[in-house]
Structure 1
Amino acid sequence: MSATDIREQNQETELPDVLQVFDRLEMGPVKLEGRRLVAPYRLIIGEKVEQTELICTYEEKVFDPRSPESHNLAAMIAAQVALNYGLFCREIVLYGLFDKTDRRFLREMAENTAREIYVKKFLEPNPFLIGDAVGLPAVKPKAFLRARLVFPDRARHNHLASWKTDPGRYCVLSSGGKDSLLSFGLLYEVGKDVHSIFVNESGRHWFTALNAYRHFRDNVPNTARVWINADRFFSWMLRRMPFIRSDFAGVRADEYPIRLWTVAVFLFGVLPLVRKRGIGRLIIGDEFDTSRRVTTRGIRHYDGLFDQSIWFDAVLSRYFQRKGWALTQFSVLRPLSELLIEKILAKRYPHLQEHQTSCHAAHKADERIRPCGKCEKCRRIVGMLLAMGEDPSRCGYTADQTTQCLKALFEKGAYTQATAEAGQLFYLLARSDRVSVPEEIAATAKPYPEILKLRFDAQVSPIDGIPEDLRADLYRICLEYADGAVERQGTKWQPVEVFSHAGMQAAYRFESKTDAGEQEKTAAPPATFYWGELCWPDAAARLDIVDTALLPVGAVEQHGPHLPLDTDAFDAEYLARKVADGCSEPKPLVLPLIAYGVSYHHEAFKGTISINNETLANLVYDVGISLAKNGIQKLVIINGHGGNAPSLNFAAQRINQDARIFVCVDTGETSDVDVDGLIETPNDVHAGEIETSTSLAIRPELVRMDRLQMEVPEFTSRYLDFTSKRGVAWYAHTHKISASGVMGDPTRATVEKGEKMWELMISNLVAFVDQIKSMTLKEIYQKRY
């Protein structure tokens, strides 16, 4: 980053106001029919209100207008286009049935898209911009998302039915391009039940898919088409942006003026058919180089390709899991370069390659769609086909177009920037007898041999990035055309033997194990997720699909004259079980309770049983190490007693040090700030308003209401207050502070407060555990989207 860039960021930390041109964008409520959804969109600018509609139409009935599940799915389909406008609106209002998983997904993707659009459309050259929007500064605000996302109906509909699917059924999101054609060819050849679903974009963009769609419609079972007017919606929005030139439709460019969240528009559009057909795997066609993380003028981003990256696959697969949809998304082409994809498609599946149209400026001629022969994509396709000894005329290029594409290729390059893939392409062309390459290019062309190999990379193309039952068959076919396989080790590519690689046997993290010879799941694991109730074969089945465990730790100690001695132990186990029950499938495992804790400070009161710090720390450490040996990668210790915290934190550090797994301790941190807002009593830390309320909510029969007494501790120094934000951690024997053992005011406790407290504690921990459960350790350590 240059000194100028640094000054820009130091001088301005907020996004320029020139971009915030709309007061509000409103979507919905969606009007639903069996084969169609219509989503009203309203754009408010001052006193002016303009309206259009987003429409999605199907060739068969996919919605039940009486079903909340259909309305929820329709709302999510309709909301996707709105995520492109978070930079430009003060508010985006989404009416409809959105549950908490939907709302979190939409907010995260809106923020991510806002950052990508700011960098790719405003910091980089954009021929569509005019006025003050040209040459904006590079800034790093706290959030790139300017719009406040509002969900007016968000308080309802959080319990929607899950989907029943079959992982042996595949949807290929089809477009007529080389990636989706090759994905279909590979899966069909290895005997999978493949459904090619095309999204019919309004306008000329549908031309790119038309040749392939007609072939599939007439020759391939299970082909389907979805019509959506998203292109018209995007153009409608562009005409209302003052910083976009009015003649944008006539400008020849290889990128769209303003939008980067587009694949998801089509992907969500096919989900009603996926649900109806019970499809369990959703295939998008993206290769190695679409997963990129780069820095532009100090801002880290995904190079405008997030919705084509492996991180997008992970985000969508997690979203589907949280929804209970039993659906996973991935690409079977991640280890392949664009050049290798074209090679395999042309040589193994020429009957599919003849329908390839990768040009977005294609036109009709003789009842076929023909490429323009002028754009960057056309010159790349022609160059790759010639480099592989193939004939570009097979997919519609004329001899004149081939000549012009080659000329432009050598003058302008294969890509907008120099890449290893471009270098390898020129190297192959320079060695070809069929192509006349300018001397200056031929003289400098050098090979990049990894481009024509399967490239495995732990982050962007892991060998276990597709389910186990696909790996051997698909990698075997690809290796017939690749020049071997390599794996990234540090900064270098090293040769690798694919079929003896440990990753070939590794579990696919988004699914339970499948039998490579069967197109169905193995026997379902036992219904219980309580570790102690499992037989060892059942434990093995569970550990194959989940690597997260909850360990409740409590105490047996006095809780004033009115609460039972096992309050901390019972509450810790109750919370752990409720959290696991609230998580999405596969649910985390709940370990047996460790009931005894560090309670020496309560020993003046009969009934207290205490163990020392070393005993508790060593016990938890031993349990953690044993869990790691069983395959647990994430351990959440749910602590019901504050006195345990130092020992548990020490044990967590030791487990992490020796087993290198994720370990955390929650002693209320995820909810304390919320719970404190519900009570009236300061220094309420033991057997007072909080613990009495929570006990009344779940075990009222054990609360001795006739013995309630208030004893709120007061101290000379405010730094000693237990609930002070500036308080220090300190220790004392309880009887020196309270004669009854109570530190708080149980007389203010109510069932209603207790129920709200449990709701807060459970929901916050569910949100946290559900997040880490579906993440790899690398993703926990560093945010990927």
Structure 2
Amino acid sequence: MPEANTPVLNHEDALAPLVVFDRLEVGPVRLEPKRLVAPYRLTVAGEAEQTELIYTYEEDVFDPRSPESRNLADMIAAQVALNYGLFCRDIVFNGLFDKTDRRFLREMAKNTAREIFVNKFLVPNPFLVGDAASLPAVKAETYLQARLIFPRGVRVEGLRPWKTDPNRHCILSSGGKDSLLGFGLLEDMGREVHPIFVNESGRHWFTALNAYRHFRDSIPNTARVWVNADRFFSWMLRRMPFIRKDFAGVRSDQYPIRLWTVAVFLFGALPLMQKRGMGRLIIGDEFDTSRRVTTRGIRHYDGLYDQSIWFDRALSAYFNGKGWAVNQFSMLRPLSELLIEKILVERYPHLQEHQMSCHATHKAGDRVKPCGKCEKCRRIVAMLTALEADPTRCGYTRAQIKTCLTALLDKGLYSQPTAEAAHLLHMLSQRGAITVPPAEARAVRPYPEVMRLRFDPMVSPIDGIPEDLRVDLYRICMEYAAGAVAPDRSGWQPVDPFSHPDLNRPRAFEPGQSAAVETMAADTPPATFFWGDLCWPDAMDRLGIVDTALLPVGAIEQHGPHLPLDTDAFDADYLARRVADGCSAPKPLVLPLIAYGVSYHHEAFKGTISINNDTLANLVYDVGISVAKNGIKKLVIINGHGGNAPSLNFAAQRINQDARIFVCVDTGETSDVDVDRLIETPNDVHAGEIETSTSLAIRPHLVRLDRLQMEVPAFTSRYLDFTSKRGVSWYAHTHKISASGVMGDPTKASAQKGEKMWAVMIANLVGFVDQLKTMTLKEIYQRKY
């Protein structure tokens, strides 16, 4: 039987009109060095139709014989299907998919189904007809109605990781202001940039055409990917009975149905990133694209999930879980779109002249021109006029400019009132570009924060980009911004980004430099997720929205002659903080470290401090029961010392028995298989290649390189090998095995290995905890799908 997910809906009858397809089958992909072709077969009432999704590259990017290429191609081909989980009974993915792929596809399909239901069916949509245009608001455990099926026999595990360089930056490019500014900033900072344009079939490509021609002729490393996704989406729309037959002729600033679109282009750029070894993927999203809102009682991402900071984190976690070492982020999250336009106009006018945001463009000679009528055109003209820039530079005629400004108050700037819209109208009014009627004057007022860098810890944190970019980027932006601000309970307050405590915090998923990672040790994590930093009223607020906590447990014990005694304690605490920092909002709470562990076996070496098994088990049990009384329903114990495992597992059982909450212990289980692939040493279990590498990555100044010595244990029976898959659990005093206290080979350690190990451990736990915190106890105990 295939693996599938079984959705559970509270009101199946209400959503039944949307299930119009019996089966959507993807693949298997036909692969060529420069091309992938994915058959899509759609079955309705026993009748099957087929079309093809095609991606074409200008250079060889695939090896058709390689399982890694086939796996990547299958994931690229799968993305468009995630838009149809609300409308199909089954979606079948034929191809090579590992556990990380399957988990990612399920979670994104679930999220997208909810976003489409709320943002395409519960709000006005000019493309809908029939009963679907007036559906009731349905509260459901999941809106994913399709079973996602991965036929057995075509799975793959253990794919080779990518070799990437964080100094190489891929920018997902178009004719929009965001990608143009992103490129300009990276080039300004002297970084290696690869602009990758994804050429949609149809007229949407026109928006990128002016910029692409300029980049193709002038900018090294520019590349283009052609995909017929637009034609595929139209093919699907023509088969949806609740979509107007004349949808192609309807003027609208929204797509009829789809909301999982950015990933269709983003995944298309990945083969070029793999070939060129690019370690950073930059998308262009500003401050207000990360939103959590409620519509008719349903919490969602306002249809902008694939432009949000949570999307960045989900994709970075997926990439790192695959071993691809790709870090996705936007450099523009602290900026409003008006501030983005200001910097682009004033610092990079040679790029701004190629700006095009209109999706109803037309060709005029060798240039593409905007329509001058749509919402996007009104916004661009309004911003350029407010900034005293000339809209004709990027293609608007004087007549179009006048039309756009006249229509501002009648048709509006945005689909709903925002601080950005009010401030922009205020600027236009101050400059005499528009006349605001008295009845609307109250809605037109200044919001000074719009022209400042806004460092919000949830949607635009100061450490939301890699540490090595921050100072240069913020210095450039501060030349054009009216300062920087951060929120408190009374509103936006001025801050100095260059003295901010988070300026040097390493970003999750980023290998970076050892020195940069080391600064994490002295930093206090944001009070929003570190339990010990909260005042009790703040704790009450946080516990109202967070039911997941991380408890780091370590040990104070010898780690050979070269590593500090607190290695296990420090590492457990460091890992817990980095995992929480990498999780999407609301972040799990991190409990204060329990530093002492069961270390009797190391007591022959001075400096070791040990507590007995009962003491540790009782302490952890008491903490678990207490946090459960505070409202925690999911407790993840992050164990930094293997000798603690029996006591922690016993404590976890008791907490589960008495408090009836979910408790688990991770002593490396989520990452050991990945970390083992990075080392050369067998039986490397204590102060060897692994622990010395991870210490070199974050605390190199505490590693005594002059004292490194190899002492790899060897045993008479293979069943006694500590790292053998057939090994038994057994216990011994360390000095009987090793005279130095080392069990492994620290001479083979390196900071580079340590950075990879941390990246893997953090990414795997972030993926697990992010999934866990969204699940109810019922969903944990019984499979969701």
Residues 211-230 of structure 1: matches in 2 within 5 Å?
A: 211-230=210-229
Does structure 1 conserve the Cα–Cα contact (< 8 Å) formed by 2:558 and 2:565?
A: no
Distance 1:219 1:156, change over 3 A: same
TM-score, normalised with respect to structure 2:
0.71
**Equivalent residue number for residue 85 of structure 1:** 84
**Equivalent residue number for residue 271 of structure 1:** 270
Report SS of the residue matched to 2:92: strand
> How far does the alpha carbon of each residue in 1:266-314 deviate from its partner, in whole angstroms, 9 at most, with x for none?
0000000000000000000000100000000010000000000000000
Does structure 1 conserve the Cα–Cα contact (< 8 Å) formed by 2:285 and 2:308?
A: yes
**Equivalent residue number for residue 547 of structure 1:** 574
Amino acid aligned to 2:364: A
**Equivalent residue number for residue 350 of structure 1:** 349
Aligned mates of 1:645, 1:783 — CA distance in 2: 24
Distance 1:549 1:247, change over 3 A: closer
Q: Give the counterpart of 1:594 among 598, 601, 612.
A: 598
**Equivalent residue number for residue 454 of structure 1:** 453
Distance 1:16 1:433, change over 3 A: closer
Does structure 2 conserve the Cα–Cα contact (< 8 Å) formed by 1:613 and 1:647?
A: no
Does structure 1 conserve the Cα–Cα contact (< 8 Å) formed by 2:382 and 2:424?
A: yes
Does structure 1 conserve the Cα–Cα contact (< 8 Å) formed by 2:289 and 2:307?
A: yes
Question: Which sits farther off after the overlay, 432-441 or 112-121?
Answer: 432-441
Aligned mates of 2:447, 2:142 — CA distance in 1: 39
Aligned mates of 1:403, 1:248 — CA distance in 2: 29
Amino acid aligned to 1:548: L
Amino acid aligned to 2:574: D
**Equivalent residue number for residue 29 of structure 1:** 28
Aligned mates of 1:514, 1:769 — CA distance in 2: 17
**Equivalent residue number for residue 705 of structure 1:** none
Aligned mates of 1:542, 1:281 — CA distance in 2: 31
Distance 1:449 1:47, change over 3 A: same
Residues 367-766 of structure 1: matches in 2 within 5 Å?
A: 367-435=366-434, 438=437, 441=440, 445-490=444-489, 492-514=491-513, 535-536=562-563, 547-548=574-575, 594=598, 613-614=614-615, 616-617=617-618, 635-636=638-639, 641=646, 645-646=650-651, 665=665, 698-699=726-727
1:536 shift after superposition? 3.3
Does structure 2 conserve the Cα–Cα contact (< 8 Å) formed by 1:164 and 1:326?
A: yes
Amino acid aligned to 1:207: F
Aligned mates of 1:783, 1:455 — CA distance in 2: 32
Distance 1:434 1:153, change over 3 A: same
Amino acid aligned to 1:311: W
Does structure 1 conserve the Cα–Cα contact (< 8 Å) formed by 2:291 and 2:304?
A: yes
Aligned mates of 2:455, 2:506 — CA distance in 1: 16
Does structure 1 conserve the Cα–Cα contact (< 8 Å) formed by 2:172 and 2:283?
A: yes
Amino acid aligned to 1:635: I
Aligned mates of 1:537, 1:274 — CA distance in 2: 39
Report SS of the residue matched to 1:134: helix
Amino acid aligned to 2:598: I
Amino acid aligned to 2:482: D
1:596 shift after superposition? 7.8
Aligned mates of 2:650, 2:567 — CA distance in 1: 31
1:46 shift after superposition? 1.9
Report SS of the residue matched to 2:55: strand
Amino acid aligned to 2:489: G
Distance 1:612 1:651, change over 3 A: farther
1:781 shift after superposition? 5.8
1:141 shift after superposition? 1.6
Q: Give the counterpart of 1:773 among 755, 765, 781.
A: 765
Say yes or no: does 1:231 pair with 2:234.
no
1:517 shift after superposition? 11
Does structure 1 conserve the Cα–Cα contact (< 8 Å) formed by 2:637 and 2:666?
A: no
Amino acid aligned to 2:328: Q
Residues 273-312 of structure 1: matches in 2 within 5 Å?
A: 273-312=272-311
1:411 shift after superposition? 1.2
Aligned mates of 2:480, 2:282 — CA distance in 1: 22
> How far does the alpha carbon of each residue in 1:419-465 deviate from its partner, in whole angstroms, 9 at most, with x for none?
11100001101111455555655676211111111001111000000
Report SS of the residue matched to 2:480: coil
**Equivalent residue number for residue 66 of structure 1:** 65
Report SS of the residue matched to 2:198: strand
**Equivalent residue number for residue 327 of structure 2:** 328
Amino acid aligned to 2:650: A
Does structure 2 conserve the Cα–Cα contact (< 8 Å) formed by 1:470 and 1:516?
A: no
**Equivalent residue number for residue 43 of structure 2:** 44
Aligned mates of 1:538, 1:367 — CA distance in 2: 69
Does structure 1 conserve the Cα–Cα contact (< 8 Å) formed by 2:358 and 2:377?
A: yes
Does structure 1 conserve the Cα–Cα contact (< 8 Å) formed by 2:336 and 2:451?
A: yes
Distance 1:641 1:14, change over 3 A: farther
Say yes or no: does 1:116 pair with 2:144.
no
In structure 1, stretches of 5+ residues that fail to align are 1-9, 519-528, 551-588, 598-609, 623-632, 654-661, 671-693, 703-767
**Equivalent residue number for residue 317 of structure 1:** 316
Aligned mates of 2:289, 2:145 — CA distance in 1: 27
Larger radius of gyration: 1
Amino acid aligned to 1:547: Y
Does structure 2 conserve the Cα–Cα contact (< 8 Å) formed by 1:621 and 1:652?
A: no
Aligned mates of 2:231, 2:773 — CA distance in 1: 41
Aligned mates of 1:327, 1:542 — CA distance in 2: 29
1:663 shift after superposition? 8.6
Question: Which sits farther off after the overlay, 537-546 or 101-110?
Answer: 537-546
Residues 68-217 of structure 1: matches in 2 within 5 Å?
A: 68-153=67-152, 156-217=155-216
Does structure 2 conserve the Cα–Cα contact (< 8 Å) formed by 1:507 and 1:544?
A: no
Distance 1:68 1:135, change over 3 A: same
**Equivalent residue number for residue 242 of structure 1:** 241
Distance 1:634 1:469, change over 3 A: farther
1:315 shift after superposition? 0.1
Aligned mates of 1:83, 1:651 — CA distance in 2: 36
Aligned residue-pair number:
611
Does structure 1 conserve the Cα–Cα contact (< 8 Å) formed by 2:320 and 2:763?
A: no
Greater RCO, 1 or 2 (C-alpha within 8 Å, sep 6+): 2
**Equivalent residue number for residue 532 of structure 2:** none
Amino acid aligned to 1:106: L
Does structure 1 conserve the Cα–Cα contact (< 8 Å) formed by 2:505 and 2:516?
A: no
Residue identity over aligned pairs, in percent, reads 62
Does structure 1 conserve the Cα–Cα contact (< 8 Å) formed by 2:40 and 2:53?
A: yes
In structure 2, stretches of 5+ residues that fail to align are 1-8, 518-553, 578-592, 602-610, 624-635, 671-721, 731-759, 777-785
Distance 1:783 1:387, change over 3 A: farther
Aligned mates of 2:568, 2:383 — CA distance in 1: 47
Aligned mates of 1:137, 1:454 — CA distance in 2: 40
Aligned mates of 2:223, 2:163 — CA distance in 1: 20
Aligned mates of 1:134, 1:646 — CA distance in 2: 53
1:513 shift after superposition? 3.1
> How far does the alpha carbon of each residue in 1:240-275 deviate from its partner, in whole angstroms, 9 at most, with x for none?
001101000000000000100000000000000000
Distance 1:645 1:413, change over 3 A: same
**Equivalent residue number for residue 746 of structure 1:** none
Aligned mates of 1:217, 1:261 — CA distance in 2: 28
Amino acid aligned to 1:351: H
Aligned mates of 2:383, 2:176 — CA distance in 1: 14
Aligned mates of 2:380, 2:336 — CA distance in 1: 13
Aligned mates of 1:140, 1:302 — CA distance in 2: 16
> How far does the alpha carbon of each residue in 1:638-691 deviate from its partner, in whole angstroms, 9 at most, with x for none?
8765897349968999xxxxxxxx995479x99xxxxxxxxxxxxxxxxxxxxx
Does structure 1 conserve the Cα–Cα contact (< 8 Å) formed by 2:508 and 2:762?
A: no
Distance 1:443 1:43, change over 3 A: closer
Distance 1:484 1:516, change over 3 A: farther
Amino acid aligned to 2:226: W
Aligned mates of 2:574, 2:512 — CA distance in 1: 14
